[in-house]
Structure formats: C-alpha cells, structure tokens
Amino acid sequence: MARMSVPSFFAAASAFALLAACSGGAENGAEDSAADTPAEIEQRQENFKAIGDSFKAIREQLETDAPDFAVITPAAADINERLQRLPDLFPDGTSVEAGYDTEALATIWEDPEGFAEAIENGVAASADMMAAAATGDPEAVGGQVGNLGLNGCKACHEKYRVDDE
C-alpha cells in the first residue's frame, strides 16, 4: 500500500486545486444564442470539463491508501489526448471579447505562437504524467500532476483565459 509523503501530498493537492479551477466551465454572463455560437466553443468547453473529470479521478485515487492505477493510467492518457485536441478548438475570433460565452481571451489570436507553445508545454507535461502513471508510483504521479498544473494549465490560463477571481 503506497502512501504519498506529506510534502508530495500537499504539492499534489495544491496542483489539483489549481487544475480544478482551470477545468471549470465557461460561464461569464455573455448573452449569446446557442445557434450563433461556433461548435468549437462547446467542444472545447466539453473537452476542458472532461480534462477536469480525469484530474478528479486521479486526485481521488492519490488520496487513497492504495491508488488504483487502472483508474490513474487511462485518466492520464485521456488528459494527454484531450490537450492535443486544443489547437483545433480555438478558431479565430471565438473569444470573450467577441461576445461569446467563453473564458478565452483575444490574446490567443494576438499571440498565436505563444498560445501554441503553451499548448505544447501542456501536452509535454501530460506526457510526463502518463510516463509517471506507467511506473505505478503515486509520488511520481503526484509530482507530475503538480508539474502539469504549474507549467501547463496555470501558465496557459494566466495569459490566455479570463481571470475568474
């Protein structure tokens, strides 16, 4: 029965809290009819919700005395696969500034190279998390969850997503 050390647990818990925030919905009060909203906005919101669900599954397992890697491993793979979809889910002009019910900032299209790099960093960090999951070591997974949270989700959201605080 593998248990995480207290510092690793708190690092992972902090990352999970960050990731829960980065996977939230995109309600910001914009009034836009569903018929006028590009399908990609709904698809990306569903994609981020599913990423959040996978992080939740990993977190729940890491909080147990005996994490089930039959849950953790596919959840890590799901996150990686979904992060790879992101470039196709942000068509030009689908920002909150354009009046859509989204948290995507126009900065995404003003800085396409930076946005692409942020996605690449998230994909790379999620690949590291998948590799950690393959080891069956909860501490390794917790460390990589923290890495993805800081160098993937948070780094991207700080620049390209509405600050919802």
Tell me whether residue 102 is in a domain.
yes
Q: Which two tokens stand for residue 104?
A: 């995507």
Per-residue pLDDT, 55: 94
Tell me whether residue 11 is in a domain.
no
Q: Which two tokens stand for residue 98?
A: 């354009």
pLDDT, the chain, mean? 85
The rounded distance, in Å, linking the Cα atoms of 86 and 70 is 26
Residue 45 above 50 pLDDT? yes
- Residue 165 binned pLDDT confidence (cut-offs 50, 70, 90): low
Helix (H, G, I), strand (E, B) or coil at 161: strand
- Residue 35 binned pLDDT confidence (cut-offs 50, 70, 90): low
User: Which domain does 93 fall in, by range?
Assistant: 39-160
Q: Which two tokens stand for residue 30?
A: 């914009």
Tell me whether residue 14 is in a domain.
no
| CB-count exposure of residue 140 (10 Å: 0-12, 13-18, 19+) | middle
Residue 111 above 60 pLDDT? yes
Tell me whether residue 131 is in a domain.
yes
Tell me whether residue 32 is in a domain.
no
Tell me whether residue 34 is in a domain.
no
Per-residue pLDDT, 57: 97
Per-residue pLDDT, 163: 85
User: Which residues, listed in sequence order, are joined to residue 104 by a DSSP beta bridge?
Assistant: 161
Tell me whether residue 15 is in a domain.
no
- Residue 52 binned pLDDT confidence (cut-offs 50, 70, 90): very high
Q: Please count the CA atoms within 13 angstroms of the CA of 126 that sit on its side-chain side.
A: 25
Domain CATH code at residue 54? 1.20.120.10
Number of structural domains, the chain? 1
Tell me whether residue 10 is in a domain.
no
pLDDT (tens digit, 9 = 90+) per residue, 75-106?
999 999 999 999 999 999 999 999 999 999 99
